[in-house]
């Protein structure tokens, strides 16, 4: 995948991205943004804040994922940055997870391309050399929760509507083994077993209790808390922290890397089943009707 600053680029995945905007931030650092991924750099501190902006609910469409992957690649390759704060620009929603429209009524080639992008974002985030702090400022079901779980530290805003968890079973689908592995590594086997089977979405107090998040803070303190956590983590020498992170995560990532193609085939055949398509359509319809 290539990124040509200031131009429209055609990606291998066949997704056309709009021109990248580049301006100067308040501290003189270069601020860059794609359509849906806003990056606020603080070069002096070595921190970039990524704000997800795919309204209304930051659902992870193929285009959005592709923009995010490119953004992470850029930051990973830029020695200026040692840490990322991942947060949302959509009020009340961190991310609604995978975009259900990408998994409904499409063809197998599309499902395969989509799933490869989902795998890619997970691997990029999970194996990032940088310190990743999730500032979870909204609801965070399924794929939204997964993104947060890849981070080194999670701060959740204290609002009972901001529930977080892997709720796949409620949709009649199954969290893949690498979602499960990431959850087990975070909250332990017994809690993950229960949370996954029941599709639990935890409100802040319970999310903290079970270990899904590390800290719950008043909403107006979420960014300052993320910054202060980041400065603690950045105080550790990079090489020691990075090698330790890799030691802790490599086996889990390798589990997927070794069977990426099989995992894609498994997803495509599962999602293409009539019964699964029906469940997803019914779920989407319910979401739409909720308002009326
Ligand atoms: C072997 C492999 C098996 C397959 C594994 C697949 C793993 C899947 C992982 C996933 O991430 S699946 C997605 C799961 N996500 C959810 O269940 C969340 C669903 N959404 C919500 O609960 C709510 O929308 C919300 C996030 C709590 C926000 O609520 P709010 O009241 O603020 O907004 P809504 O009115 O509900 O939604 C606005 C608008 O957005 C549409 N929408 C919501 N979520 C999604 C989504 N995930 N994908 C696509 N579209 C979504 C919703 O339908 C509304 O649309 P309109 O009615 O405005 O057209």
Cα–ligand 1 centroid distance for 97 (angstroms): 7
pLDDT of residue 221: 98
pLDDT of residue 33: 58
pLDDT of residue 58: 98
235 close to 228: Cβ distance less than 8 angstroms: no
Question: Per DSSP, what are the bridge partners of residue 138?
Answer: 92
In the chain, count of helices (H) and strands (E)?
10, 13
pLDDT of residue 292: 62
Residues 6 or more apart whose Cβ sits within 8 Å of residue 208: 156, 214, 215, 216
291 lines ligand 1 (CB under 6 A): yes
Closest residue by CA, ligand 1 atom 22 = 96
- Show the low-confidence residues of the chain (pLDDT under 70): 1-33, 292
Taking the CA of residue 142 as reference, the ligand 1 atom at the shortest distance is: 11
Judged by DSSP in three states, 191 sits in: helix
Closest residue by CA, ligand 1 atom 34 = 287
Q: Kindly indicate whether the ipTM for this predicted assembly is greater than 0.90, answering yes or no.
A: yes
Taking the CA of residue 266 as reference, the ligand 1 atom at the shortest distance is: 1
Length of the chain: 292
Cα–ligand 1 centroid distance for 100 (angstroms): 7
Residues annotated as catalytic are 98, 143, 167-168
Tokens of 158: 């204290």
Cα–ligand 1 centroid distance for 187 (angstroms): 24
83 lines ligand 1 (CB under 6 A): no
pLDDT of residue 22: 46
Taking the CA of residue 167 as reference, the ligand 1 atom at the shortest distance is: 17
Q: What percent of the chain has pLDDT over 70?
A: 88
Q: Which residues of 224-237 are buried (b: 16+ CB within 10 A; e: fewer)?
A: ebbbebbeebbeee
58 close to 96: Cβ distance less than 8 angstroms: yes
pLDDT of residue 8: 25
96 lines ligand 1 (CB under 6 A): yes
260 close to 267: Cβ distance less than 8 angstroms: no
DSSP string, 20-70: PEEEE-TTS-EEEE-SSEEEEEETTTTEEEEEE--TTTT-B-HHHHHHHHH
Question: Per DSSP, what are the bridge partners of residue 42?
Answer: 47
pLDDT of residue 51: 98
Cα–ligand 1 centroid distance for 93 (angstroms): 10
168 lines ligand 1 (CB under 6 A): yes
Cα–ligand 1 centroid distance for 56 (angstroms): 10
Alpha carbon distance 223, 229 (integer Å): 10
142 lines ligand 1 (CB under 6 A): yes
Closest residue by CA, ligand 1 atom 55 = 288
Judged by DSSP in three states, 151 sits in: coil
Taking the CA of residue 291 as reference, the ligand 1 atom at the shortest distance is: 35
Pairing type for strands 16-17 and 138-141 reads unpaired
């Amino acid at each position: 995948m290539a990124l040509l600053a200031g131009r429209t680029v055609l990606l291998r995945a066949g997704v056309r991205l709009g021109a990248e905007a580049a301006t100067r931030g308040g501290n003189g650092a270069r601020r860059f943004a794609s359509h849906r991924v806003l990056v606020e750099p603080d070069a002096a501190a070595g921190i970039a804040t990524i704000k997800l902006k795919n309204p209304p609910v930051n659902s992870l469409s193929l285009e959005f994922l592709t923009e995010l992957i490119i953004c992470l690649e850029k930051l990973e390759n830029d020695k200026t940055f040692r840490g990322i704060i991942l947060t949302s620009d959509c009020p009340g929603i961190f991310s609604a997870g995978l975009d259900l429209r990408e998994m409904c009524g499409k063809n197998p080639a599309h499902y395969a391309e989509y799933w490869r992008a989902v795998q890619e974002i997970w691997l990029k985030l999970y194996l990032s050399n940088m310190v990743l702090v999730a500032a979870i400022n909204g609801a965070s079901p399924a794929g939204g929760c997964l993104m947060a779980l890849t981070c080194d530290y999670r701060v959740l805003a204290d609002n009972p509507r901001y529930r977080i968890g892997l709720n796949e079973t409620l949709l009649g689908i199954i969290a893949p083994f690498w979602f499960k592995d990431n959850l087990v590594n975070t909250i332990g086997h017994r809690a993950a077993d229960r949370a996954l089977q029941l599709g639990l979405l935890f409100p802040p107090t319970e999310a903290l209790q079970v270990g899904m998040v590390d800290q719950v803070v008043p909403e107006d303190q979420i960014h300052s808390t993320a910054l202060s956590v980041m400065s603690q983590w950045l105080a550790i020498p990079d090489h020691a922290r990075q090698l330790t992170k890799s030691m802790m995560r490599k086996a889990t990532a390798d589990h997927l890397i070794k069977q990426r193609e099989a995992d894609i085939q498994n997803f495509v055949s599962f999602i293409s089943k009539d019964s699964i398509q029906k469940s997803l359509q019914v779920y989407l319809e319910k979401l739409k009707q909720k308002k009326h």
